[in-house]
Amino acid sequence: MQLFVNHQHTQHQGRQEMFRGRLVDCHEVPARLDHVAAEWERRQLGAARALSASLDDTHAAIARVHNGAYVEFVRTAWDQWVALHPDNAQRDALPSVWPLPSRHGFRTDAPLHNFAARLGQYAFDAGTPLMQGSWAAAEEGARCAVSAAMAVAAGAPSAFALTRPPGHHAGPDYMGGYCFLNNAAIAAQRLRDQGFSRVAVVDVDYHHGNGTQTIFYERGDVFTLSIHGDPRTEYPFFLGHADEAGAADGAGSNLNLPLPRGTTFGTWHAALQTGLERVMAWAPTALVVPLGVDTFAGDPISGFGLQSPDYLRLGQTLADLGLPTVFTFEGGYAVAEVGVNAVNVLQGFMQHHRLG
């Protein structure tokens, strides 16, 4: 497996997020990536590769899945924030106002000249702090994802984009869930652009990959599967229900398998197997795995009961599909254990993967 690491990730270090009604220290911290990198190195799984994607190539790949006005806002948001008042340089930007859907009479088509309004227009929660280095870290993360997809397109059996901030909650024109750019969607689109006719995205994070689903919902060339906490009680709440099956050309190409809080590995793995049967019946030619390990029993903001050895089995199950595969690093907030759990998936995959 080829490893691509975002060495710019520490530029994004949120101070606080809004969580369950109060401002708390951020759960999404640089140590998450550092633990994974250290565990990979401890197991001597190979040196990280130089990023092969140029910035121009990365920007083109971002534009394939994200709205241009949204990308420009994220790129320039920090400068706009500091321009409001010099003291803002010492504070993260968090949204405080949002438009409701248009059926309530709220408009998003009119020009907005207030920074708080623009930030709210492009965000769906107050838990995704934006700071001076957020764009640099997210941009380099997208570059990792493109590099990983390019490696697989060039013949590598698998590749891992080890990056933060994560990405699977970011939609075509919105941020949220700690995510600004959707690395998994960027990788899937790059695989499509490099000749893979049908790409499946299998999201194993505890939280539904709402951004990825939205990006591909009306397309029939990318199948999106997500196994996650039931959105009736779990974030992100407003997507991820079992009746969301895709639309237009994508009808039948989206499968959500929501599970109740407290689910342990046996039930979770059975759901995964059910989903993978659908995936393989769809006949994909490549696979993207948004790898979240916040399904771990000790995760502070999640609710499943997987244990560290279960992640080896997950990797083996994914390997049995026999597909060229890109992994992107997503959630996992039991920071001390995140390295072991993530690398267990990858090592289990590498030990069993055989291209068909």
Strands (E), the chain: 2-5, 16-19, 22-25, 158-162, 199-203, 222-229, 254-259, 286-291, 325-329
Please give the torsion angle defined by the CA atoms of residues 280, 285, 286 and 292, in that order, rounded to the nearest 10 degrees.
-20
169 is catalytic: yes
**Judging by beta carbons within 10 Å of its beta carbon (0-12, 13-18, 19+), is residue 42 exposed, middle or buried?**
exposed
Beta strands in 132-204 (DSSP E): 158-162, 199-203
Nearest to 236 by CA among 152, 292, 317: 292
Burial class for 290, CB neighbours closer than 10 Å (0-12, 13-18, 19+) = buried
Exposure pattern of 159-184 as b/e (b: 16+ CB <10 Å)?
Answer: bbbbbbbbbbbbbebbbbbbbbbbbb
The one catalytic residue in 27, 35, 169, 353 is: 169
User: 């059975």: which residue's tokens?
Assistant: 270
φ, ψ for residue 325 (rounded to 5)?
-135, 135
List the structure tokens of 73: 């806002």
292's tokens: 């979240």
Our measurement of the distance from residue 32's CA atom to the centroid of its chain's CA atoms, rounded to an integer in Å, reads 14
Which residues are annotated as catalytic? 169
